Amino acid sequence: MPLVRVYVTLKPQLLDSAGRTVTGALQKLGFPEVKETRIGKLIELQIDEVDEARVKEMCDKLLANPVIEDYRIES
Amino acid sequence: MRVAVLRFPGSNCDQDAFFSLRDDMGFGAEYVWHEETSLRGFDAVFIPGGFSYGDYLRCGAMASRAPIMTEVARFAEEGRPVIGACNGFQILCEAGLLEGALLLNAGQKFVCRSVELKAINRSSLWTRGVDRNLQIPIAHGEGRFVCDEFTLARLQDEDRIAFRYVGASPNGSVDNIAGIVNRKGNVLGLMPHPERATRTVLGNKDGRLILQALALVAA
Query: CA end-to-end span of chain B, whole Å?
Result: 5
Choosing from B13, B86, B93, B147, the catalytic residue is: B86
Q: Which amino acid, one-letter code, is at B50?
A: G
pLDDT for B217 equals: 84
d(CA B123, CA B127): 6
Name the stretches of chain A with pLDDT < 50: none
- Mean predicted lDDT score pLDDT of chain B: 96
Cβ neighbour number for residue B87 with a 10 Å cutoff: 28
Question: B201 Cβ partners below 8 Å, 6+ apart?
Answer: none
- For the stretch B166-200, pLDDT in tens is 999 999 999 999 999 999 999 999 999 999 999 99
Is residue B30 flagged as an active site residue?
no
Who among B61, B93, B106 is closest to A15 (CB)? B106
Nearest residue in A to B98, CA atom: A67
- Least Cα distance to B137 among B13, B18, B45 occurs for B13
Who among A20, A61, A68 is closest to B103 (CB)? A68
The pLDDT confidence band at residue B219, using thresholds 50, 70 and 90, is low
Average pLDDT of span B90-102: 98
- For the stretch B50-62, pLDDT in tens is 999 999 999 999 9
User: B61, A17: Cβ pair inside 8 Å?
Assistant: no
Share of chain B above pLDDT 70, in %: 99
